[in-house]
Amino acid sequence: MTTSMPGYAGRLLYVDLTSRQWETRPLPGDLAREYLGGRGFVARLLWDEVPTGADPLGPENRVVLATGPLTGLFLPCGGKLHLGAKSPATGGYGDANIGGHLAPELKGAGYDGVVIQGRSPQPCLLVIEDDAVRFMDATPWWGQGAIESEARLKAELGEAFQIMTIGPAGENLVKYACISHDFGRQAGRTGVGAVFGSKRLKAVAIRGSKDIPVFDARAAQAEGRRMYEVCFGKPGFEEWTPYGTAGVTDWVNEVGAFPTRNFQTTYFPQHTEINGRKLKERILVTDKGCFGCPIPCGKYSKVKVPRGMAYVEGPEYETIALMGGNCAVATIEEVGYANYIADELGLDTISGGNVVAFAIECYEKGLLTEAQVGRKLAWGCLDSLVFLLEKIARREGIGDLLAEGVKVAAAVIKGGSDKFAIHVKGLEWSGYDARYAPAMMLSYMTADVGAHHNRSWAITYDVAMGRKSLEGKAEKVVELQHIRPLFDVLGLCRFPWVEIGFELENYAAIFPLVTGWNYSWQDLLRVSERIWNLTRAFSAREIDHYGRAFDYPPPRFYEEPVPDGPAQGQLIPKPQLDELLDRYYRIRGWDEGGLPTREKLQELGLQFVVDTLGPKLS
């Protein structure tokens, strides 16, 4: 079909799993112009479609999948699919992002996004093949591993399908269950896999054959060529790619930010046994790139440990941090094997690594006993990890509580365990201890989904601007929180910019050639700010008393100085956290309680938010 909007497929797909009905609707022009795509579509469609107060694991919650205007094109790294839901982990706005080849396939099938609601009477698969949408019985795959399911579905449906699946953790509504694709890539965070599971949606399979319309195809081709050539010329193109994200492991230890034994400390002496070099030397099978990527971070590996042999994509840095250092696991093979177990079970390795480490620390402190757990737990013990991950995914024994995440588990276990339940807003902390990095700390405190680094990876700026200094840090975090999520809006991966210094102006240059819209980079950032305020408002709408109280790190980070390593003695006292928050809210145009003001919302074209939140706003 033709479209009046180049850069877009021009349609949204609405699916109701309860009735097994589906329909397509034209992509609204104002949605595209004001929210652009990806994360923007997710934020606005969740606001519009999810009823206030909806149970995140009930049929009325929605899962929104969305591509962006730069998805699937001839330019570096346009392979990202954004998806979101009201989060079962936090009760607020939740989203996650996945590479591989899903997003170009969905756009090629003729859809900019998919909105899924309801609950299937029995386990089901959603199959999208160009204009045809069908539902299949997933009973034969229910209970199977996420990667195993993908392999079997490819065998059944055909290699050409791009498939997203959940594992047992998603089926059993583990609050940090992920969605898996392409044999080891995940939409990891905020429990999107549990939302799939609550809808009894085992998998989505997509196949598309349509052209993606582009405003000026020849001009965009020329610009795309230039963009690739710029990437090929960057030093990092050759230097960064061989190690991928694992390559940062040594640096994070050197700056004293590496999660170690449930964030008890920030330097792991055996880090050189689990770094990018060890990955490459000992276990790498092939580099594995997402769609259009010249700098593949995906490292596909084969690991052997006494428990068994496994193929696994990774381990990536985050898994090395949270299942390696944070659980004190000290060989790359063991980290890789734990990664494989989590992937098959469909568990986010970031939250999963946090939860396991939290349980081991509880055990160490006598707050969990061998009788309660079902075995001894120990740091650096792969068997402890695998045991707990399997219990969690199946919600057996202690796993049923741990499946709720560290915030809920600490509230039940008590004994002061909340001080070392490492999360913000109910989402576990990713791979950077920030006690010696105020901008990174503020990034974690204020990320809309909870303690995730991808909204603002500010630690490099802490190192550049002064580790103790608060000066300019809040400004930098706000700036990054508009730039980085913009990649999720446009349907891109941010790594060319972050990792090899590919200039942001390149994206601004190609955007008008693809869409025909004369947006400047500043215009695009304005959209990103609109979305940032909308996701904050979504959480405020869904969670009572939402605001400042939800923006603090766990007490460990402001009460316990780092005991050793390069950050020895460091912490950020609570008054400084408040100073950071005060500055941050002021720059954002939010009140001191952490909610956007009416004026800010109106300035951003969010009058409908003012109308809904009304009395909560100042």
Report if residue 1 touches other proteins, rule: CB under 8 A. Answer: no
54: phi > 0 → left, psi -120 to 50 → alpha, else beta; which? beta
In whole angstroms, give the CA distance from residue 69 to residue 8: 6
- Residues numbered 448 to 477 that lie near other proteins (CB under 8 A) are none
- Residues numbered 175 to 194 that lie near other proteins (CB under 8 A) are 182-184
Token duo for residue 149: 């399911």
Report if residue 296 touches other proteins, rule: CB under 8 A. Answer: yes
Beta strands in 228-268 (DSSP E): none
Q: Is the dihedral of CA 162, 168, 173, 175 positive or negative?
A: negative
Minimum gap (Å) between residue 121 Cβ and other proteins = 31
As a whole number of Å, the CA-based R_g of the chain is 22
Report if residue 68 touches other proteins, rule: CB under 8 A. Answer: no
User: Among 211, 281, 544, 611, which residue sits at the site for other proteins (rule: CB under 8 A)?
Assistant: 211
User: By C-beta, is 340 or 558 nearer to other proteins?
Assistant: 340
CA-CA-CA-CA dihedral for 522, 527, 532, 536, to nearest 10: 140
The H or E element containing residue 96 is strand 93-98
Q: Are strands 124-129 and 201-207 parallel, antiparallel or unpaired?
A: parallel
Minimum gap (Å) between residue 164 Cβ and other proteins = 15
Candidate ranges 204-212, 345-353, 389-397, 589-597; the one touching other proteins (CB under 8 A): 204-212
User: Among 31, 43, 46, 73, which residue sits at the site for other proteins (rule: CB under 8 A)?
Assistant: 73
Is residue 123 helix, strand or coil? coil
Q: What is the DSSP letter of 28?
A: P
Q: Mapped to the 3 state alphabet, what secondary structure does 496-518 carry?
A: HHHHHCCCCHHHHHHHHHHHCCC
User: Among 287, 383, 418, 603, which residue sits at the site for other proteins (rule: CB under 8 A)?
Assistant: 287
- Residues numbered 93 to 152 that lie near other proteins (CB under 8 A) are 101, 104, 108, 147, 151
User: By C-beta, is 76 or 553 nearer to other proteins?
Assistant: 76
Report if residue 167 touches other proteins, rule: CB under 8 A. Answer: no
User: By C-beta, is 37 or 94 nearer to other proteins?
Assistant: 37
Minimum gap (Å) between residue 250 Cβ and other proteins = 24
Of 75, 69, 57, 64, which Cα lies nearest the Cα of 42? Answer: 64
Of 433, 17, 62, which Cα lies nearest the Cα of 262? Answer: 433
Report if residue 372 touches other proteins, rule: CB under 8 A. Answer: no
In 234-381, where does DSSP find H-type helix?
Answer: 235-239, 249-254, 276-278, 317-319, 332-345, 349-364, 370-373
Minimum gap (Å) between residue 292 Cβ and other proteins = 5
User: Among 298, 496, 547, 553, which residue sits at the site for other proteins (rule: CB under 8 A)?
Assistant: 298
Report if residue 288 touches other proteins, rule: CB under 8 A. Answer: yes
First-to-final CA distance of the chain: 47
Candidate ranges 23-31, 290-298, 383-391, 592-600; the one touching other proteins (CB under 8 A): 290-298
Of 13, 41, 7, which Cα lies nearest the Cα of 25? Answer: 13
Minimum gap (Å) between residue 323 Cβ and other proteins = 19
User: By C-beta, is 214 or 386 nearer to other proteins?
Assistant: 214
- Residues numbered 233 to 272 that lie near other proteins (CB under 8 A) are 237
Of 363, 326, 266, 258, which Cα lies nearest the Cα of 561? Answer: 266
Angle of helix 406-413 versus helix 349-364 axis, rounded to 10: 20
Minimum gap (Å) between residue 142 Cβ and other proteins = 20
Minimum gap (Å) between residue 151 Cβ and other proteins = 6
User: By C-beta, is 182 or 499 nearer to other proteins?
Assistant: 182
Report if residue 289 touches other proteins, rule: CB under 8 A. Answer: yes
Is residue 255 helix, strand or coil? coil
- Binding residues for other proteins, per CB under 8 A? 72-74, 101, 104, 108, 147, 151, 159, 182-184, 208-212, 214, 217-218, 221, 224-225, 228-229, 231-232, 237, 285-296, 298, 300, 302, 311
